[in-house]
Amino acid sequence: MERIIVITGGSRGIGAATARLAAAQGDAVVVSYLRQRAAAEALVRDITHAGGTALALAADVSIEADVERLFRDVDSAFGGLSALVNNAGMLEAQSRVEDMGAARLTRIFATNVIGSMLCAREAVRRMSRRHGGAGGAIVNLSSAASRLGSPDEYVDYAASKGAIDTFTIGLAKEVAADGIRVNAVRPGVIRTDIHAAGGEPDRVNRVKSSVPLQRGGEPEEVARAILWLLSDDASYTTGALLDVSGGR
């Protein structure tokens, strides 16, 4: 049977790569997006033209009502849920902590932490055997920044990803007996447009010499790790934080 996988922030980058690979192996994918409607719909067209099953749904994961509506729409379209990839995330322009305001911090944590927790809550309510579900898997997108701290750039983003690490470990222990595995992937320097959001589109080339493998990673390399954690091949893996960072 095909799995139904919700991928938040799935219109581009790691989320889009995960959707393409999941659909290619026979999974039905739901990609949520905030502003990138055209990109999300183009991704869905590509997947469906290749014979896969995909649906694009708009949602701001930092808004509880949006998250609840997203999962109700998944219920209506597919009647179930097998897995969640908590990929939606954001950062803001590079800054030192002394120059950060409360509004910026609120935006970062509302999306990266609260959004992931709300989506996980809805997924657990549907997949948990405690609630009549068949079990499932959740993969949270953390970051190598949670270990490195991102000084002079994104300490707030790094802190939000540290929260994701802790959330992953706690939730994994909480729902293991309910048939749900919860893990996180911690990407390093990956070639996506998130760097442009921070004001430095070419950041990968600047920092790649600090990576032991001497290059930036590709979204597909992270996607393959995500799909392994969602698969039965990882059936005894939960509460893990998997670094996909080139050794950095």
From the candidates 33, 154, 157, 236, give the one annotated as an active-site residue.
157
The string of pLDDT tens digits covering residues 191-203 is: 887 777 777 888 9
Full-model pTM: 0.96
How far is residue 217's CA from residue 23's CA, in Å, rounded to a whole number? 22
Q: Could you give the CA distance from residue 217 to residue 246 in angstroms, rounded to a whole number?
A: 7
Burial of 112 per CB tally in 10 Å (0-12, 13-18, 19+): buried
Q: Give the DSSP H/E element, type plus range, for residue 182.
A: strand 180-187
Which architecture does CATH list for 4-244? 3-Layer(aba) Sandwich (3.40)
Q: Output the tens digit of pLDDT for each of the chain's 248 residues.
A: 589 999 999 999 999 999 999 999 999 999 999 999 999 999 999 999 999 999 999 999 999 999 999 999 999 999 999 999 999 999 999 999 999 999 999 999 999 999 999 999 999 999 999 999 999 999 999 999 999 999 999 999 999 999 999 999 999 999 999 999 999 999 999 988 777 777 788 898 898 999 999 999 999 999 999 999 999 999 999 999 999 999 99
The proportion of the chain whose per-residue pLDDT surpasses 70, expressed as a percent, equals 99
CA distance 156 to 114: 14
- Give Cα separations from 215 to 114, 154, 195, 196, 218 (angstroms): 32, 21, 15, 18, 10
| 130-168 tens-digit pLDDT | 999 999 999 999 999 999 999 999 999 999 999 999 999
State yes or no: is 236 an active-site residue. Answer: no
User: What is residue 198's three-state secondary structure?
Assistant: coil
